[in-house]
A and B are shown apart, each in its own frame.
Chain A
């Protein structure tokens, strides 16, 4: 929808810095938000996205201090002249840290808080709460303790609590950062319903570009405090080169269509944003080409596998090598209930990168804690490098197993990056001088500031420091629990490339990750878990291609896998089991017939 009324929020040349000498977090932002629009904001970390959200919601200038220039108008009034309370009657905001956002311990009280404060008539309160809970689909949670809810449920409570106050605008800062793909989509479904049915203007900051581009009608790309690109998702993702330079991921299907467009098989400027669009595009492209579907014999050879830079290169682990991690019949249950695991059997060899996938609460994290010894199996055994974890203390296991946790802040405790990275080595008994020397080498390779305090760095850099202190110990086993959450695309790739190098040097890597694109790019073998059991295991491509298995484990396969399955069915069997952007592109090119000069003058020129 393209409303033409007066903008509900308008920013005029807004700049902001958090201190006198600090760099500008925002630098000359001019934008208008139309009422009833659904705006997505993307950009690398440090681009000023959260600062922008704070300005939109009035937290700047009323809560965070700094230097603010320009004007921000909410419904035509300058936010500097309104109080934060008045602004929040119009603009409701949901912040990043969902636990800190809560003000009560029971769901109903959480909703009551705002209603009571804003003086909603007491006879209307009951129906307002019921309506707000209903709108986000959690009417059954009304009397639950918030502490007992899952991340997705908490996020919905936070949205309902804001919704009950009937704001005209909702500003959400990475609402799905801690959620699995299924819950993330559910949160976005809620937002779309609110936007469509109630006309609430939605502004959402998000790293999951593929998801976001399906829902928003306008996209802002931020970089270094400025708006770098702006437009509909189709318009924005047509600028593939700019986005790559900024460090923003594009949905894989957009990469495919942009790649086809570069080959002249498809007019540039309107990239695909979802699997359906891409499937029909490729069907058309192939359909107009010479060889028809149903002649599989002529095709596979014609698809040269160039291999994308992200393809998991098969690492031949030595035949007959001993597995470095071996689970046999491992069972564990928490005394108070929780994600238990049943009868796990697993062997991981040196040099392997194994991904564990499954829904939230199926015991993936429990499995990783069994590897690093934080938990001991109640029956069965876990052997790390031949040693049963029940026989040695955790601090002893740490010599072989290094863990990178989801939240780097739990891991960091020293005053400088140098001490932090050296600390792990010192704990292993490496003499201080040597530890510092080895730490310096790793710090230099990672390009980190050795003398800074880890806590003064950005989230992405803190994760890099945590990773550096894992790398420096050269462990036999690396355990990664959601290593990429909270990181932007470029940081995510740096972390994962480093991990892959570690695997190539002989470490065994076990990774739990919600981002199926990352899993499909980097893991060579997958273990699928559901309800505490291992459902299946196998090569990444085979596991993702098994649609029935994916449905049973409630895992959404990566876009490319979904696309290739669909194309194999509808267009040509040659697409079956493609897991990479380049594979799909090459097969399409092959099927469409090599670039025909008559149909494709631009490609001919370039050649």
Chain B
């Protein structure tokens, strides 16, 4: 089972950028998405993200994420349509202003989610954590917590699947079509999941401490993450993106 945020191996410029630069680039696209107000800019930024994804070989991941986001943004569109009451009435409760602000909200939602995921698919989490510790002076325990949390996502998903399978085999009707009923059935199952997670987290903490976790300093990392020319170039792109976002 593949995770949307799993690392996609590759050797593109995007892969080779400093993790901190990638983080900045993603943040700039997000900032520009918030600042921009025109359809052209919003769609342009979204296209930029998708093109970068295609270049880095993680387009399929982005599309699978878009598939998840479509129902969410549809819901958002409906809400916007219902609550924005000014502007000309087009049909029933739909107004022109509502349509404009609703579609823009949808574009923003997708535009904000994608760059972060793209950044994670082209960066190994350990590299990201180490670079943040080295360049941004993020405290290591915080970075470790972050990488561990990401690493635990698939572990707990597997655990949850195993629990659901075991319960289904006992006769709990997890195979019901009714999502509300399924949710009600899932609640008691969270107890065993919680019990295992607490145990696993404690075991990981012990294992980390037994391998010198508390000795670690900013200088410990074996890999170094120097900035180079392409990072400077990327920084210029970031500035341009934000400036463009403000202007358009």
Contacts and interface: CB of A to CB of B under 8 A. Distances in A.
Interface of A: 57-59, 62-63, 83-85, 88, 92-93, 95, 97, 99-106, 109, 112-119, 122, 125, 145, 147, 161-162, 165, 336, 369, 372-374, 393-395, 398-399, 401-403, 405, 407, 409-414, 423-424, 427-428, 455, 469
Most B-side CB within 10 Å, residue of A106, A116, A374, A469:
A116
Contact of A114 (B2, B192, B205, B211): B211
A100 B166 contact: no
Given A100-B207, A117-B216, A399 B166 contact: no
A122 B224 CA distance: 11
A106 B124 contact: yes
Nearest to B166: A410
A439 B196 CA distance: 26
Contacts of A372: 169
Contacts of A97: 199-200, 203
Nearest to A100: B203
18 contacts: A62-B209, A101-B204, A101-B207, A109-B124, A113-B208, A118-B211, A119-B215, A374-B168, A393-B175, A394-B175, A395-B171, A395-B175, A398-B168, A402-B169, A403-B169, A410-B163, A413-B188, A455-B191
A103 to B, nearest CB: 5
Interface in B130-184: 144, 147-148, 151, 154-155, 159, 162-163, 165-175
Contacts, number: 156
A45 B221 CA distance: 41
Nearest to A97: B203
A92 B206 CA distance: 12
Given A88-B211, A100-B203, A427-B171, 16 more contacts: A84-B209, A84-B210, A100-B204, A105-B125, A105-B151, A115-B222, A117-B211, A117-B220, A119-B215, A147-B154, A336-B1, A401-B169, A407-B162, A412-B192, A413-B192, A427-B170
B157 to A, nearest CB: 11
> Which of A112, A165, A373 is the most central at the interface, judged by chain B CB atoms within 10 Å of its CB?
A112
B151 A95 contact: no
B233 interface: no
In the A-B complex, the 3 residue pairs with the smallest Cβ-Cβ separation, listed nearest first, are A117-B212, A398-B171, A100-B203
A423 B173 CA distance: 13
A179 B210 CA distance: 24
Contact of B210 (A93, A102, A394): A93
Contact of B169 (A99, A115, A398): A398
Contacts of B213: 117
Contacts of A118: 211-212, 215
Contact of A424 (B170, B204, B208): B170
A161 B206 contact: no
Contacts of B168: 374, 394-395, 398
Pick from A58, A372, A395 the residue with the most CB of B within 10 Å: A395
Contacts of A88: 209-212
A85 B209 contact: yes
Interface of B: 1-2, 7, 124-126, 144, 147-148, 151, 154-155, 159, 162-163, 165-175, 188-189, 191-192, 195-196, 199-201, 203-216, 220-222
Nearest to A368: B169
A275 to B, nearest CB: 37
Nearest to B224: A122
Contacts of A399: 171
Contacts of A455: 191-192, 195
B104 to A, nearest CB: 37
Nearest to A164: B211
Contacts of A93: 210
A103 B204 contact: yes
A112 B206 contact: no
A428 B171 contact: yes
A442 to B, nearest CB: 15
A112 B171 CA distance: 46
B88 to A, nearest CB: 49
Nearest to B215: A117
A105 B5 CA distance: 13
A147 B166 CA distance: 22
Contact of B216 (A104, A116, A405): A116
Nearest to A109: B126
A58 B211 CA distance: 12
A398 B166 CA distance: 11
Contacts of A57: 210
A439 to B, nearest CB: 14
B206 A63 contact: yes
Contacts of B166: 403, 405, 410-411
Given A403-B169, A427-B171, A100 B211 contact: no
Contacts of B1: 336
B170 A105 contact: no
- A103, A161, A412, A427 — most chain B CB neighbours (10 Å): A103
B226 to A, nearest CB: 15
A472 B173 CA distance: 19
B171 A125 contact: no
Contacts of A119: 215, 220
A395 B210 contact: no
Nearest to B191: A413
Contacts of A109: 124, 126
Contacts of A58: 210
Q: Which of B192, B199, B200 has the most CB of A within 10 A?
A: B192
A315 B203 CA distance: 46
